[in-house]
Amino acid sequence: MLPPRRLLLPAVLAAALAAPATAAAEHVTVRSFDGTAIDADFQPAPGLKPGQRAPTIVMTHGFGATRETVDLPGGASALGQVGASAFRAHGYNTLTFDSRGFGRSGGEVQLDSPDFEGRDVSALLDWLAGRPEAQLDGAGDPRVGMHGASYGGGVQWAAASRDRRIDALAPAISWTSLVQALGRDGRLKLGWGLPLVGLGIPSSTALGVFAPQGLELGGFPLELTSLALQAAVTGRSGPALTGYLRARSTGDAIANVRAPSLILQGTADTLFSPSQSLDMRRLLRTARTPTKVLWFCGGHGVCRTGNAIGDRIEPRVLAWMDRWLRGDRGADVGPGFEWVADDGKVRSAADFPLRRAGTITASGSGSLPITPLSTVQGLVIAAAPAVNAVAVDVPRQDGEADVVGEPVVRLRYRGTAVPGDTHLYAQLVDRDRGVVVGNQATPIPVTLDGQEHEVETRLEAVAMRVTPSSRYRLQITDGSNVYGLTLSAGAVDLRDVRLELPVGDAAGTPADADAVAPAGGGGGAGAGAGAGGAAAAGKATTRRLRLSALRRSGVRIRGTRPGGKAVRVRLTVRPSVARSLRLRSRTLATTTIRRGTPTWSRTVRVPVKVTKALRRRAKTSVAVTVSSGTVTPGRLVVRR
């Protein structure tokens, strides 16, 4: 998908038609697994002599665009995109293509599905293996790296999760879950959901007239158009749209990726937020895949701090390909994690995420009217400080600290509204600059039926530099333009609002043992000591158990924790179980046990609707995971 300044479809179409590939490009049409024609351009590395071979970089475009956009001089640093010409100048072949259903390729758009667009890449690799200019690792196995932004980033996970021939990845502003990206917690991101359809239809149909293999029309799925428009009217991504998006997300299959991966994510990206890179890194760590993460200020959104790290993107991407495609151990890929904070300065650490070094907390309360008028707050692609909000000020800190990750908000509330199932929104505001940190607003599902309830939510990830002079504020508001229409009216009493900001220790973050240490890399020039005191990092522990059914009263779980630190507990089922039961998430319940004694005990409750859905699944396997220490789940049984 494209940033706001590029949401000018006529310009995209004009560029696609008026700016053909350079004269050295060889136009090819490759037939995919189902006969779909994939239109592509192959350009060998300049200066190759007969018999010489080079690795190849495979690239495609953003949503609604065409392959010509990835060959523009200079790339697009605001997207984390390096131009194909830069790779050729560096001695690589390039193979650029129109994604299925777009430009001059045939077929129907499937949103970077591993089963469709992922297999299209495999067909391109089959073709590439026969090129005399392509370096091979073996028969039918070309030496290949992939790079691209947004839609051109998501396809890399779709392809590499199923095809081990891909040797290196550098996806920019990509995703693991389209469900969370477009409709987090049941709310549609209206500012991005409608351009999804508006950009897709013209590119997938109009340019098909010019397909060299013949007329290619009707590339945009009518089912997606219908579901997106229904969600726009209701403001909710219902079960049908959620299922459609989940079936086309790579999701947990990213754990199958073995290609070393440089993840480029935008801190100002309100579509594929930095939280997506947390999931990517977690999944790649389980696969022991060498990984580097770089957070820049850009992506699908508006950068308000200056992209000070932007000039590092191209050299880092080129070095990453040199390291893993050419075997150059001296390539300067930099430290394991580099990021630009909300003060516009670049910092680094040996790995991502940062080692936890404490928590900055804040609490408050207040009353909040709920009205559809609050929908007008902010832009449709970027949150802005709210006028109607319960405000909780973050206490001034004695020292400096890096908050890099997902803050946690807990609410104890009582209220009434029509309809009663609705959402509040949480956002962090920098009061000195008058902006929302990272443009990010996070929906919080609430039930306003006159009863008291509690809810806990992890906010979208942010990168903040907290100093003694900082003035930050948590706002809980009733609407956000990013998420479209507020359809409820009523009021809520927020009796207890608690905020936890995760403080990271950049200098104390150990390097990933599975990644090759870069030349001159290692620990970062990171922050000073964080607030709240240091605590040893512990590895996550998981226990699986059989489920006969669930008690409505909850499950009693016991465990230990190193150093008395806080522990996060999650109950999850496999993605296939969540899909078959049409659950919103594979996570059944989460809770956090605060710092305290070396042992802990907690009753974790699962929503009644989920309990009923699981009642007859006696062989379902449930995972109980804690962030550190050990866990001893009790038997999960129920009186029928």
Predicted local distance difference test score (pLDDT) of residue 206? 45
Kindly report the three-state secondary structure assignment for every residue of 354-393: CEEEEEEEEEEEEEEEECHHHHHCCECCECCCCCCEEEEE
Q: Helix axis angle, 222-234 relative to 190-205, nearest 10°? A: 160
Q: What is the mean pLDDT of residues 420-446?
A: 94
pLDDT band at 515 (very low <50, low <70, confident <90, very high): low
C-beta atoms surrounding 640 within 10 Å: 6
Q: What is the mean pLDDT of residues 498-523?
A: 72
Q: What is the mean pLDDT of residues 409-431?
A: 95
- What is the average pLDDT value for the chain, to the nearest integer? 81
User: Cα separation of 12 and 63, whole Å?
Assistant: 11
Note the pLDDT tens digit of each residue in 302-328.
898 888 898 899 999 999 999 999 999
Q: What is the DSSP string of 146-187?
A: EEEETHHHHHHHHHHTT-TTEEEEEEES--S-HHHHHHGGGB
Report residue 247 CA to chain centroid gap.
Answer: 16
Note the pLDDT tens digit of each residue in 89-139.
999 999 999 999 998 999 999 999 999 999 999 999 999 999 999 999 999
Q: Which residue has the higher pLDDT, 395 or 615?
A: 395
Q: What is the mean pLDDT of residues 420-449?
A: 94
Predicted local distance difference test score (pLDDT) of residue 379? 64
**What backbone torsions phi and psi does residue 414 show, to the nearest 5 degrees?**
-150, 135
User: Cα separation of 389 and 275, whole Å?
Assistant: 24
User: Cα separation of 194 and 176, whole Å?
Assistant: 20
Which residues lie below 8 Å from residue 487, measured CB to CB, with a gap of 6+?
234, 235, 372, 419, 422
Predicted local distance difference test score (pLDDT) of residue 564? 67
Q: What is the mean pLDDT of residues 388-407?
A: 95
The partner residues of 452 in beta bridges, in order of sequence, read: 414
Judging by beta carbons within 10 Å of its beta carbon (0-12, 13-18, 19+), is residue 70 exposed, middle or buried? buried
The dihedral region occupied by 287, where left means phi > 0, alpha psi between -120 and 50, and beta the remainder, is alpha
Predicted local distance difference test score (pLDDT) of residue 619? 54
C-beta atoms surrounding 198 within 10 Å: 13
Kindly compute the dihedral angle of the four CA atoms of residues 477, 483, 484, 489, in this order, to the nearest 10 degrees. -30
Residue 143 has pLDDT above 90, yes or no: yes
Note the pLDDT tens digit of each residue in 587-597.
777 787 776 66
Residue closest to 96 by CA, chosen among 110, 106, 85, 107: 85
Percent of the chain residues topping a pLDDT of 90 = 53
Q: Which residue has the higher pLDDT, 4 or 374?
A: 374
pLDDT band at 540 (very low <50, low <70, confident <90, very high): low
Residue 87 has pLDDT above 80, yes or no: yes
The partner residues of 429 in beta bridges, in order of sequence, read: 436, 473
Contact of 273 with 180, CB cutoff 8 Å? no
Single-letter amino acid code for the residue at 141 = D
Note the pLDDT tens digit of each residue in 433-442.
999 999 999 9
User: Cα separation of 139 and 398, whole Å?
Assistant: 62
C-beta atoms surrounding 534 within 10 Å: 16
User: Cα separation of 136 and 79, whole Å?
Assistant: 31
Kindly report whether the peptide bond that precedes residue 407 is cis, defined as omega within 30 degrees of 0.
no
User: Cα separation of 478 and 388, whole Å?
Assistant: 7
Sign of CA dihedral 573, 575, 576, 577: positive
Residue closest to 334 by CA, chosen among 521, 605, 489, 109: 521
Residue 534 has pLDDT above 50, yes or no: no
Single-letter amino acid code for the residue at 93 = N
Predicted local distance difference test score (pLDDT) of residue 482? 84
- Report the SS3 class of residue 135: coil
User: Cα separation of 256 and 527, whole Å?
Assistant: 34
User: Cα separation of 539 and 543, whole Å?
Assistant: 13
Note the pLDDT tens digit of each residue in 145-175.
999 999 999 999 999 999 999 999 999 999 9
Q: Is the pTM of this model over 0.95?
A: no
Which residues lie below 8 Å from residue 428, measured CB to CB, with a gap of 6+?
407, 436, 437, 440, 459, 462, 464, 472, 473, 474, 475
Q: What is the mean pLDDT of residues 330-344?
A: 95
Lowest mean pLDDT among 245-249, 272-276, 297-301, 449-453: 245-249
Lowest mean pLDDT among 250-259, 414-423, 478-487, 630-639: 630-639
Query: In angstroms, what CA-CA distances link 576 with 279, 430, 550, 580?
Result: 18, 41, 19, 6
Contact of 55 with 325, CB cutoff 8 Å? yes
pLDDT band at 382 (very low <50, low <70, confident <90, very high): confident
Q: What is the mean pLDDT of residues 219-232?
A: 69
Predicted local distance difference test score (pLDDT) of residue 180? 79
Q: What is the DSSP string of 227-294?
A: HHHHHHHHSB--HHHHHHHHHT--GGGGGG--S-EEEEEETT-SSS-THHHHHHHHHHHHTT--EEEE
Lowest mean pLDDT among 407-416, 524-533, 616-625: 524-533
**How open is the CA angle 343-184-171, to the nearest 5 degrees?**
60
pLDDT band at 390 (very low <50, low <70, confident <90, very high): very high
Query: In angstroms, what CA-CA distances link 295 with 78, 265, 307, 327, 508?
Result: 12, 5, 10, 25, 19
pLDDT band at 517 (very low <50, low <70, confident <90, very high): very low
Sign of CA dihedral 120, 122, 124, 127: negative
Single-letter amino acid code for the residue at 522 = G
User: Cα separation of 150 and 482, whole Å?
Assistant: 18
- Report the SS3 class of residue 213: coil
Report residue 47 CA to chain centroid gap.
Answer: 39
**CA atoms within 13 Å, Cβ hemisphere of 292:** 29
Q: Which residue has the higher pLDDT, 406 or 234?
A: 406
- Per-residue tokens: 78: 């605001």
Q: What is the mean pLDDT of residues 566-591?
A: 74
Predicted local distance difference test score (pLDDT) of residue 266? 96
